[in-house]
Amino acid sequence: MSKLSVSVAFIITLTLTSLAFILDDPLALAFLSILPLALTIKNIKKIKWVYLLLLISLVGVLVNALMFSNKGETLFLVFGLPVRWGALIAFFKVSLKLLLIAGAGSWFISSYSPFEVARGLERELGLPKGVSFSVAYAFRLMPLLARDFKEIQDMRVQRGRRKIPLTPMDLASMLTPLLRVGYERAFWAGVAVELKGFRLRRVKHEFKLFYRNGYLQDFSAEGAR
């Protein structure tokens, strides 16, 4: 089975992500999540950090649900705090939305290299080079962020703290250095590509004629310079 073109896969990923924000039916969200999850099983080691971040984000989802949607009949108590039906429903819906986004994104990430993404978005969809480069760079940056996250976890363990964040303060203490390192890396990467003449890059169109079987055939190709 041939691999989908980058443009088609990108549109599918955007569609699934948009549906995650639009749909509110748990059954529909769960159904749409099945296919991308099934397609990423064989590459689970490559994108396991996506689902690790998803699990961590569920802590914030639960806190948000308890603060703003904790209404209705009380189901049970957690450390003396009543958990009501509304909080459980809100947590379940938002978790499914995040699962659909993570599944669609991990499928796209595991299917193409950053170079294929940049070339496909620019040539097939005609996106500006700045947009295609930003998307491709984000894909390249994700494994680096996963590595930084693991290093932060190891440092927390060495300092006698929890490896997995369980409170908002734990989450903030892990995300702050992660975002700071990511910002510094993105800033200097932008400086580097500008020094290499990124703004001067243009798309070159080439047209070639071939004589075959008594007919002239026109083949066109595009290349970046």
- pLDDT exceeds 80 at position 176: yes
pLDDT score recorded for residue 220: 47
Query: For residues 185 and 144, is the Cβ–Cβ distance under 8 A?
Result: yes
| Lowest-pLDDT choice from 15-19, 97-101, 122-126 | 122-126
pLDDT score recorded for residue 224: 45
Instruction: Characterise 185 by phi-psi region: left (phi > 0), alpha (psi -120 to 50), beta (else).
Output: alpha
Residue 101: partners with Cβ closer than 8 Å, 6 or more residues away: 16, 17, 20
Q: Tell me the two tokens of residue 1.
A: 């089975």
| Lowest-pLDDT choice from 11-15, 50-54, 135-139 | 135-139
More confident residue, 43 or 104: 104
- pLDDT exceeds 90 at position 15: yes
- With a threshold of 0.85, does the pTM exceed it? no
- pLDDT exceeds 70 at position 51: yes
pLDDT score recorded for residue 2: 63
Evaluate the CA torsion angle 14, 186, 132, 115 in order and state its sign.
negative
- pLDDT exceeds 60 at position 82: yes
- Torsion angle of the four alpha carbons 37, 38, 44, 49, in this order, in degrees rounded to the nearest 10: 0
- pLDDT exceeds 50 at position 222: no
Q: What is the pLDDT of residues 22-47, one digit of tens each?
A: 999 999 999 998 888 888 887 777 78
Looking at the chain, the whole-number percentage of residues with pLDDT higher than 90 is 16
Query: Residue 214 — φ and ψ, nearest 5°?
Result: 80, 10
- pLDDT exceeds 80 at position 109: yes
pLDDT score recorded for residue 17: 92
Q: How far apart are CA 112 and CA 8, in angstroms?
A: 12
27-52 burial, b at 16+ Cβ within 10 Å, e below that, comes to eebeebbeebbeebeeeeeebebbbe
pLDDT, mean over the chain? 79
Q: How far apart are CA 194 and CA 213, in angstroms?
A: 47
Over range 195-212, report the average pLDDT: 57
pLDDT score recorded for residue 95: 93
Beta strands 81-84 and 203-212: pairing type?
unpaired
- pLDDT exceeds 70 at position 58: yes
Residue 223: pLDDT band with limits 50, 70, 90: very low
Contacts for 19-22: CB closer than 8 Å, 24+ residues apart: 19/100, 20/97, 20/98, 20/100, 20/101, 20/104, 21/97
Over range 189-205, report the average pLDDT: 64
Question: Any idea which residue has 């993404």 for tokens?
Answer: 117
